[in-house]
Amino acid sequence: MSTISQWQLRAEFAERLSAMYGREVPAYTTLVGVSREVNEDVLRSRGADAERLGSIGRVTAERHGAIRVGTPRELRQVARVFGALGMHPVGFYDLREAAASAVPVVSTAFRPVDGAELARNPFRVFTSMLTVADQRFFDPDLRSRLETFLAGRELFPPELLTLADRAAADRELPADDAERFLRRAVRVFELSREPVDRAWYRTLERVSAVAADIGGVRGTHINHLTPRVLDIDELYRRMTDRGVEMIDTIQGPPAWKGPDVLLRQTSFRALAESRPMRTEDGSVVSGSLRVRFGEVEARGIALTRAGRAHYDELLGRVDEQASQHPTAARGDLARAIWERHMPGSEEELAARGLAYFTYRLADGRPRDGGSPPADVGELVRQGWVLAEPVVYEDFLPRSAAGIFQSNLTGEGTRDNDQQSTAYDADWLSGAIDREVLDPFALYERQQNGSLAQVARALGLTGTLR
Ligand code: OOG
Ligand code: NI
């Protein structure tokens, strides 16, 4: 009997999720259509250069989703489901500190980690967990009611988890089991039609709209599904022209003439959706909630720790300037700072150790040959090897918090006199029983692997840097 491999399961899951989300949120379908048009136009005008950060095939299929769960137990189950698809937890994000309003969650992203798997299908899911133990948001009484509520729900049916464990262990599933797995997995992320307990939802909403979205209902849902676009400024204009009201900024680095780094994102609020609500007297009425939205992103080059520190520092300068010049457009301020302080070429990013690249042998040896130098920069300059930028596969805490906040109703409340509760990557690893991987280490491994190969092929001894 035929079997379906992990990456095929992942690609198929992403595609079915996209079809489902398109049925449920029509604006998403518009967004995907406009993204595709922009990508085709960019490919036409920039040629091969447009594919420098991923083939058009990869970029067209590329999506990230976002989901939110309530407890470590639920997160552990999420990890099993995504483990089946060859997706592993990467990075730790504490959005409680990154957000000005109440966003009581910590997060990680499940994604493929090695180059070949990413090239096959890079599907990733930003996954947040409610920080129920954080007393700044939840007093002891509310916390205990919330824990009881969450303990009494089941997000993932047991047969889904059994199939998931089998897929993770065997790295594939027989075709009929694959079909069962995919159907059940997609169903988990559909918006539930079960009536929402209105009073309970409102209680949580007073603390935080995010808390209500997660802990106020008996299921979970995909919260947004984000296509990747090659020119996000153009996308923004075209969506606005179509009358879709976008948030007022593109988050992340500004548009400028130098290399694109990290991640730029923007979003729009989805319309209110009608949902059955159970009132205090037990009757079911029709209500509406605005919980899902649309987001789009452009991905750039992955930065090293030093590059990221530089980026964060520049962001700090932009903040400072923006507070001094409240009427100036933030994008213009940022661009001016970028033009003065950000390397204007990939070569300079590499030479200063600010971004990750992989290296491969050029076709044929340089004409004025000699023997290859033992320095990467020189090898590239003399034409022995080619450098290719590594695309950023992760997220940015500040943009993530911005996306959460721009789509919240109300600020929520936070009692800053209470102690916060520490959660970190180690805590998360323990809670989900698998290591939360360090994104920098993954990029570095990719870069070093390619350097080792180049050195071997050129007969160089010692480590290339
Ligand atoms: C997740 C927000 C973060 C991103 O792209 O930064 C995110 C959420 O709203 O649940 O998806
Ligand atoms: Ni997102």
Q: Which tens digit of pLDDT belongs to each residue from 440-452?
A: 999 999 999 999 9
Structural domain including 316 reads: 303-343
Whether residues 322 and 423 fall in one domain: no
In a domain, 207, yes or no: yes
Whether residues 233 and 374 fall in one domain: no
Whether residues 168 and 268 fall in one domain: yes
Question: Which residue's CA lies nearest to atom 3 of ligand 1?
Answer: 400
In a domain, 151, yes or no: yes
Partnered with residue 3 across adjacent β-strands are: 174
In a domain, 351, yes or no: no
Whether residues 37 and 143 fall in one domain: yes
Question: Which residue's CA lies nearest to atom 11 of ligand 1?
Answer: 66
Contact by Cβ (8 Å): 389, 355: yes
Each residue's pLDDT tens digit, 114-173 = 989 999 999 999 999 999 999 999 999 999 999 999 999 999 999 999 999 999 999 999
For helices 305-324 and 330-341, angle between their N-to-C axes, nearest 10 degrees: 140
Whether residues 22 and 165 fall in one domain: yes
Whether residues 205 and 330 fall in one domain: no
Contact by Cβ (8 Å): 25, 244: no
Cα–Cα distance, 337 to 319 (Å, whole number): 11
Nearest to 59 by CA among 121, 124, 126: 121
* Ligand 1 atom nearest to CA at 105: 10
3-state SS record for 409-458: CCCCCCCCCCCCCCCCHHHHHHHHCCCCECHHHHHHHHHHHHHHHHHHHC
Whether residues 234 and 369 fall in one domain: no
Whether residues 339 and 277 fall in one domain: no
Interval between CA 28 and ligand 2 midpoint (Å): 13
Domain count, the chain: 3
Whether residues 329 and 400 fall in one domain: no
What residues flank ion ligand 2 with Cβ within 5 A? 66, 226, 295
208 phi/psi in degrees, rounded to 5: -170, 135
In a domain, 349, yes or no: no
Question: Which residue's CA lies nearest to atom 10 of ligand 1?
Answer: 66
Question: Which residue's CA lies nearest to atom 4 of ligand 1?
Answer: 400
Contact by Cβ (8 Å): 362, 379: no
Whether residues 86 and 183 fall in one domain: yes
Which of 111, 130, 247, 403 for a ligand 1 pocket mutation test, highest count of atoms within 8 Å of Cβ? 403
* Ligand 1 atom nearest to CA at 128: 10
The CATH number assigned to the domain holding 266 equals 3.10.180.80
Least confident of 75-89, 242-256, 432-446: 242-256
Reported pTM: 0.95
In a domain, 130, yes or no: yes
Q: What's the pLDDT score for residue 370?
A: 82
CB-defined site of ligand 1, < 6 Å: 66, 68, 126, 128, 223, 265, 295, 395, 399-400, 403-404
Q: Mean pLDDT score of the chain, rounded to an integer?
A: 93
Whether residues 270 and 404 fall in one domain: yes
Whether residues 255 and 366 fall in one domain: no
